[in-house]
Structures are given as C-alpha cells and as structure tokens.
Amino acid sequence: MTSTGQDSTTNRQRRSRHNPHSPSHNSSVISKRGVKKGAVPRSSPSLAEVKKKGRMKKLSQAAEQDLIMGLQELDLNLEPKALSGTGLVFEEQLNEFHCLWDDSFPECPERLHAIKEQLTQEGLLDRCISFQARSAKKEELMLVHSLEYIDLMETTQYMNEAELRILANTYDSVYLHPNSYTCACLASGSVLRLVDAVLGAKVRNGMAVIRPPGHHAQHNLMDGYCMFNHVAVAARYAQQKHDIQRVLIVDWDVHHGQGTQFTFDQDPSVLYFSIHRYEHGQFWPHLKASNWSATGFGRGQGYNINVPWNQVGMRDADYIAAFLRILLPVALEFQPQLVLVAAGYDALQGDPKGKMAATPAGFAQLTHMLMGLAGGKLILSLEGGYNYRSLAEGVSASLHTLLGDPCPMLESPGAPCLSARTSISCTLVALKPFWEVLMQSAETLEEDCVEKDKEEGPWEPPVPQIMAWPMLCARTGLIYDRRMMNHYNLWDNHHPEMPQRISRIMCHLEGLGLTERCLTLPARPATDAELLTCHSAEYIARLRATENMKTRELHREGANFDSIYICPSTFTCAQLATGAVCRLVEAVLAGEVLNGTAVVRPPGHHAEWDAACGFCFFNSVAVAARHAQAISGHALRILIVDWDIHHGNGTQHIFEDDPSVLYMSLHRYDHGTFFPMGNEGASSQIGQAPGVGFTVNVAWNGPRMGDPDYLAAWHRLVLPIAYEFNPELVLVSAGFDAAQGDPLGGCQVSPEGYAHLTHLLMGLANGRIILILEGGYNLTSISESMAACTRTLLGDPPPLLGPLRPPLSGALASISETVHVHRRYWRSLRIRKVEDKEEEPSNSGLVTKKEPQPANPGSAKGMARPEENILEAGMGKATSASPVEESIPGQAKSEIATVELAKDKSLEVATGGAMLDQTTSEGPVGHTKLASCTDSQTPPSSPVQGTTPYIFPRNLIESLRTLELSNKTQKAPDSQTPEEKLLGEAAGGQDLDDSKLMGFGDTDEATFYAVTPLPWCPHLTAVCPIPAAGLDVTQPCQDCGSLQENWVCLSCYQVCCGRYINAHMIQHHEDLGHPLVLSFVDLSTWCYHCQAYVHHQALLDVKNLAHQNKFGEDMPRPH
C-alpha cells in the first residue's frame, strides 16, 4: 500500500479494500518552459531541451495504446447510458389512519395533504414518473422484523379502540389504528417499488412520500410513530433480490434512527449514517447508542456513523460540513451501489420537535451531494416532519433536486458553529481507525495563529427563504469556434498547445451525442473595453500589432515572453477565445442556460496584466469574471477554481486584492521548481489587503496526484471555503493536464474524477457554473475528461469511481498546510482535534433541565420529564430512567414496594404469571447521567449465541380483549395539572393517571412507589438456558467479592453487585451489552435496554430456581 507517512507500528484496523499499484516517479516529466521572464534559469528542463530528447511525440506508441485501451474500459466512448426520470410514489390510501384518541397527534394525514398541495402547486407531480404503491409481503418484512411481531401487528386490524390503546401503551410514542398495519405494509412496499424501478433501470432516482415513518422500528418493537422499518427492509430487499453488495443509508431526520442502527450495526454491507439532535442524551430516544462513540460491533465496526447535535438551532452550514468532512469521504471509500435516505424534515426551521434552523435549500444541497454516489441510484423515503409548511417545502426542494433542478442559493450559509465542529471532530476521532480516507482529518489548532472562536450568541431564527426555481429553456451552453484553430506554432508542428486540442474535443462530444443535448452558442470577439478590465492598453496594442508582423519578427516577439509562440492569427484567436467565454457568461446570467462549457484556445490563466505567459495571451477567465460583475451591476461574488496542473499566476495577480473574487488553485508546485516557477503558487500566497484570505493555493509537491487527492482537497478545503463564501457564479479554469497520460502534468486524475469534482461544484451559485478549457496536452485524455464534465453539467450522474487508494501523504501534507494558513480567515476550516473520549456534561445539568411544556399533548416526543421516565419504564416504554433521588437534592433513596392494584390483575392473566413478587429498593437503574442511562450497544436484533428460541406472548392478543378499560379510557380529571395531562414521550403514550407515582404517607421516611412491570420486552431472546450447575443466590460479586445486592446476568450467568455497592453489574452490561439481569435480593428482573422491570413466562423457570435456592420451595404461582 502506498505509504501514508504514518508510524508503521501504529495499531490500526484500517480497511485495505483497494491497493492499486501507483506508477513509479518519472524524473523526466515534461514541464512548460522552465524560465520566467527575467528569472534565473532553474534546473527544470526547458521546452527546447525536452523536444531534443523526444521531439515531443506526445507519448510512445505503446503508452498511447495502453492509455486508449484503459480509457475505453471507462465506457466513456460508448453511447450515453444515463437514465432519466424521477420515480414518485404518492398513495392517498396512506391517509386512512390517525390517532383515535388524540386529534392533535403530530403524525397525522394532514402531513401528506400539505405535501400534495405543494407538489401540485409547483407542477412536480406531472414531472415525475408515478409508480403505484404495493403492500410489502410478510416474507419481505421478515428480512428485518420477526414473524411473531408481524403477526401481532396484523391482528391490530381487528382490535377496538380500547384494545389498540392498551397495546400502543406498551410501546414508546406510538398509536394504533385498525388501518395502521395495512398502511405500514403499503409504505414499506412503496419503497420496494422504487428499489425495483431504480435498480431495474426504469428511472434514475425516486422518492416515496409515505406514512407512517419507519426508522425507529426495531426487529420486534414499535417505536417513535414507526411500525415497520422501511429503509431497512428496502436495503435487505435490494441485497436479496438485486444482488446489491453495498448499501448506504443516510438518515437526516432530527431523531436518531435507532431501529435502523440496531438492524445493521454488525453488518459491513450496510453503511449507516445518521445526523440528529442528541443534546448529550436529553433528546429522544435518549440512547447512548445515538452518540458518536457508537460505531458498530464485530465486522460491522466502523460502518455505523452518528453525528450528534448537542444544541438546537443547527443550520445548513452545520449539516453541509458534516456531509463534506465525514459522509462523502467515507461513502466514496465504501463505494455504495445504492443510497437510501431516511428523509425526515423535522430539522427544518419551524418544526415544533426539531427546533433546528435548516432550510429547504439546505436539504436540496444534501440531496445533490448524495446524487454523486452510486451512479445516481438514490431513493428518498419520507420519515418525520411536523410543521406542515416546512415539511412540504423540504420535500419539494429534494424532489426538485432529484429532477435535476439547480440547488437554490443558501441565504446565509456562513460556517459551521462551534458545537457542530466539536461533534464532527468527535465523530472523526471515532471513525479514524476504520477508514483510510480519514487519516489526518483534523489538524491541531494553534491558538497563537488563529483567532479564538467567539462565544456564539443566542440563536435567532432566520427569515424564512422564499424558494425560487429557475425556468430554463436549455440546461448547458456550449461555445466553440473553428477559427480558434488558426493559432499555431509556425516552427514546431509538435508543440503541445496545438490546434487539434479543441477539434478533438468537439469531435468526441459530437460522437457521444453531447453537442445536440447542449445549446450551441455563437462565439464573438472580446471588445477592447472587456479586455481592458484585466489588461493594459499598451499590452493589447502590442499584441494587436503582431497581426502584421513577419515570421522573424513574430519569433522575436514571442521570445520576449515566457513560453510563448505567436503567429499572425494569434491576436484574433485570443480575442475570440476571451469573447466566447464572455458570451457564455451573458447566457448564464440571463438565464438562457444554467451552465456551460467553453472549448476555447489559446488558454488564458497565465496571462498577466501586461504580459503573455505560458501559452496564454488574454486571461479569459479573469475577463469573464469582470464582465459578469459589469453586467450584473454589482460586485458579484465569483468563485474561480483553477484545476489546471500549472498555477494560474495571471489570475491570482489580477484578483489578489479583491474580496469579491475567491481564487482557488490546485497545482503542481514542487517547492517552486514547477512552471511557472517561484513562490507565487505557494500556500503562503493568500492575497493582499483587502483581499487577504481570498487567494487559496493547494501546492502539490510532486507527481502522481489522482482522484483521491483532489477529492480530499475538495472535501476538506475547497468546498468548505466555497460554501462559506457563497458565490453567485462559479468559473472553472478547466485545464486537463492533471489527467492520466498528460505529458506535462505527470498526474493521474481520471475522467470520472473530473466529473465528480464538477458535480460537487454544481451545488454552488444556484448551479451557475462555467468550465473554460485551459491546458491539457494528451488529446485522448482531454477529450474524455471534457466529455465527462459536460455530461455532468447536463445532469447525468457522475460515473462510478474505481477503487480508490488513500490520499498520498504528500497530498495530505499540502492540504493541511493550506488549511493551516487559511483557517484564521475561514471558520469552516477550524475542525479541532479532540481527546478520544466522551465528554459528558454535569449530572445536574442533565437531570434538572426543564423542558418547555408542549403546545399540545401530541408534541411531547423527545420532551419527557425526568419524573416521567420512571413511570414510562413501568408501562413498557423503552426510555431512559433518571434516578429520582438525584433529581431532588437531599431526598432519601427511593424505595419501590409492591402494591396490589386491581387493574393489574388482567395483566397477570395476559402474561400467565404473577405480578412482581417483591421489588427491591435498589434495582440497577443504570448510570446517574441521562446520557448514559441506556448505554446499550447490543441491539435488540443482534444475534446472541446460545439464546433460547424466541418466546412471544401470543395470548397477549386475546387477553387484551378481556381487559376492563373503562378506567383507562376516561379523561383526566379537571384537578390534574397541565403537566399531569401530558402523554408519555409522545401522543399515544399513557396518561399519568394510569401509572402514577404513589406515595405512602407524608412523613420523613423513604417514599414508596408502585411500578407495573412490562408483561413482555423485545430482549427476552437474550435469555440463555440455565447452567447445569444451577444458581447460587449466595454467590459473591465476581469483581469485588461483595455479598450485598448481587444480580445474575441472564445471558452469561455471571454474578455482579448492584449500583449502590460498586455497580459492577452496570459495568458488565456496558462491556457486553447483555440486557436482562435477575436480583438475588427480591428475584425481580430488570432490562437495561428498556430501563424497566420485566415479568414474563420466559423468566419463570430461572425465577423459580432462584426461589428454590433462596427459600427451599417453589415460587408461588397464581391460580
């Protein structure tokens, strides 16, 4: 593997999927003429010397043939195969369920009504290819869910409201309706329909506008409004039916998709990325498994990525930074064949649950970035979103982008906030051992070189953006004129800057059918007024005078400049090339086309204010930028990206004191020895006041730079700065001499690589981007590369990249050097290194924080009060349980006692067992910090070796029908406070009156409470057979030898002490993830994952054995 410069003894577990053999360094790489005007000659060979050695025959015949064969394998010489069309599933039947007992429940039919109205208003329904929804089959759902669970959900069709409500109350934040099962099956099937359409090459991408959502649903557990996990089922379905090997799931819902994570966290074939509100565990679902430290298990370690937001008000810049710094680099290394998105829009500004400040335009950006992966095979599945207007606009923005419309400009993108940068840094630290592309991903921040981040003031919601989508007659403009071939070298037919460069490109574009897909624009000469914006009048006159010179005079005049030849047509061709670019700028700014390609010569980026240089006469890109500002009437913010292998010294000098033009160049520098020599292309060149910071140079100090190196620069440097700058127009000095096989560049960028660079830039400036040909001297390479870029501008997805090696250590060093120089000017570059440990906030800050009262009972998801958590644990809600004694300082330790309640008798019948015999005062409730309460790293769906067959309480269904529900369905009495009327976690939860904390006397003695155990929990599969040696309730803690308050793990039967001794059983759970433990004190059973006591038939054998060992007789059983 290519050396990365790291200590070879470092014990890393990096993946070594790809190990291409890089060609050895060729010391005779051809350079442009190596002497600048007036400079001391360098050791680099001059153009004349190189020609003497080989007469510049481009490449040897064998090398040329190898290159052609290699490029043919890229399929770029074949007819375009890019699919068109966006599939859409929108089924009215999905509105046929709602919460029967709470009309204000946020997950309601009005969500889809609002979306349909928005899509109809914008004409998007007619633009999409509609697909009929279908119901997912049981065997398809069983790819993720258990048959027993599916059967239980199926029976809900025949339950009455009271039965539905009781069953719903055994889960967290759900409601049930007789049509819930049918609609959930239809929702899952809708996503499967799109999987078939996309992978069956019927459409390019698609979106399923469905409900109920799915990403919280687990193997055998409803959760958070979700019954079946649609994206998880779709991923497994794609793997099974379509032989897809690698699936990327992106979850941008504001709530963590724990169900999806638990499904795949041991599976390296599915990469799961979630970006969600966390707030150190205070936000629903209150799982430590939602934090950045949860990276997966076993072979799946590193394939689970969480980016937790620890404050509200996160904006577009924060989400974009997470995508650029984490998701895109890892995804390109992973190389997915399909991308599924759990597309919740509750992070949008105005959503009552998310309380974030993302905009629809921001989600358009995220969608666009994902469209560059998996050959464009992308499917969005609707999840959350509870502000109807924001939801509708978010769905609309994503659908516009899927259809190929340009991303709207961000109103105020700025840079990621300090909290976001901290979260991103933590995630990078956690993932660094597993992904080669993340090496050296965060540079040490030197406080003496960077202004300290100011404390960010209170968040103020921005003014909602009015979305505008341009109506274009054509998408891509193409400008070319054969007259530009009249510039040629009178003395050397093999000079690399030859007329055939542009004719070969055009022939190739025509052969691929790309020219007819573009709007061909006529070229025109640049006017003197246009040229004078970047060149002196004396220089223009001097160049115009060459039209009438004789051959000898032309030769002498050319020798007065650096690396220049001149012929009688040179002035006319240079004037035409520059004018052609100005014409294309006019077309883009007028909305005549969205973007464009200028196939022009001679090139221009070396041309100075008063001098030709490096094959260049007029600086076409610079003149076009000034022309754009002139016709727009203001200092238009323009980004110039120069990816020519040579530094654009002329462009840099023209704009180095202008903050309205951001110039970014990636070029070979070779410590100042590569053309154009000197230190002008060094990373230390940053512009002059007031343009300091607006000149950015990435100086490669060697050859062989390829796709991984340029993409790393894009993700870590170019795009973060570009988004912070927020340009209104993007101009690319598109030299292709960094391409494979170029005789001057010595680098290895592929046509696919150029396509990806182009695609990522297209998210900027409302899609207004123009590529202007600069260098590139292998005719095959420049033709293929320009074709790849033009296809991308036309909206075709970038081609799949081959296996990528890690970025070269030299490339990373160059990128880091530029980051180090520029992070004082650009906050987006200030990603800090953090210690490799979790930073937990203080306990008091977590437990005592008061959440605002929701506006209605249905808006409480993620807003449980600490005192509610104990109640909900008793009612079967898998939420965090904050110790009551810590929420009230000085309160005596809580005691939990058994109280016989008549209303619970029916549960004994349902479970076939007794109520909790005794409940101890010191159940292993978990950590005292809310963020750590549910430190459950083993998911419910994770297989546990040696487990007993799954036992499902089938008689629960029948028993539910026998319950007396009159007391449960009554409204809360008027004497209740507003807080007591709140439903647990979310609408559909149980009223406080159903499981109220019950005090026993207003005395100084310890307070007693009644807790109803869960009649079933999804983690019973983890209970293993009792060892042959039986149980010994007198056995000491295996870690400390304590004989007090010991518990036995029901998975491995190790004995450890409880939380009020030395908490070794809690540590045992954290280390191994075993969920269920039995108390030797009172024979109660506790589930760490559910944070609740459990009493179920499957536990009676081990309880009875412990009872025999403790009391010498069988445990009493109910009659």
Catalytic residues: 216, 606
The β-bridge relationship of strands 769-773 and 270-277 is unpaired
Angle between helix 570-589 and helix 620-632 axes, rounded to 10 deg = 40
Q: Cα–Cα distance between 191 and 202 in angstroms, integer?
A: 15
- Environment class of residue 393 by beta-carbon count within 10 Å: exposed (0-12), middle (13-18) or buried (19+)? buried
Structure tokens at 740: 């494979």
Outline where 491-547 has alpha helix (H).
Answer: 500-511, 528-531, 537-544
3 state SS of 913: coil
Residues 6+ apart with CB under 8 A from 1044: 1057, 1061
Torsion angle defined by CA atoms of residues 801, 807, 811 and 817, in that order, rounded to the nearest 10 degrees: 120
Specify whether the CB–CB gap between 784 and 73 falls below 8 A: no
H/E element holding 638?
strand 638-642
What number of other Cβ atoms are within 10 A of residue 759's Cβ? 22
Backbone CA torsion sign across 894, 896, 901, 906: positive
Query: Which residues lie closer than 8 Å to 39 by C-beta, 6 or more apart?
Result: 677, 678
String of DSSP letters for 293-309: T---SGGGTTSEEEEEE
Determine contact, residues 867/850, Cβ cutoff 8 Å.
no
- Which are the contacts of 737, defined by CB distance < 8 A and separation ≥ 6? 644, 645, 646, 744, 745, 747, 775, 776, 777
Q: How many CB atoms lie within 10 A of CB 947?
A: 14
Token pair for residue 432?
A: 């660094």
Dig out the tokens for 156 from the structure.
């809900």
Q: How many C-beta atoms lie closer than 10 Å to residue 232's C-beta?
A: 33
User: Would you tell me how many other CB atoms lie within 10 Å of the CB of residue 461?
Assistant: 10
Whole-number Å distance between alpha carbons of 40 and 672: 13
Report d(CA 897, CA 920) in Å as an integer: 7
* Separation of alpha carbons 378 and 401, rounded Å: 11
Could you tell me which residues come within 8 angstroms of residue 485 by beta carbon, excluding any fewer than 6 positions away? Answer: 499, 500, 502, 503, 573, 601
Nearest to 1044 by CA among 1033, 1053, 1054, 1052: 1033
Q: Which residues pair with 172 in a beta bridge?
A: 223
Which residue in this structure is represented by tokens 């819902």?
Answer: 253
Q: Could you tell me the CA-to-CA distances from 299 to 16, 72, 261, 296, 329 in Å, in that order?
A: 14, 37, 14, 8, 20
Cα 641 to chain centroid, rounded:
24
Q: Which residues contact 970 (CB under 8 A, 6 or more apart)?
A: none
Cα 1038 to chain center, whole Å?
44
Cα of 747 vs its chain's centroid, Å: 30
Please confirm whether the linkage preceding 1116 is cis (ω < 30° from 0): no
Categorise residue 591: left if φ over 0, alpha if ψ from -120 to 50, beta otherwise: left
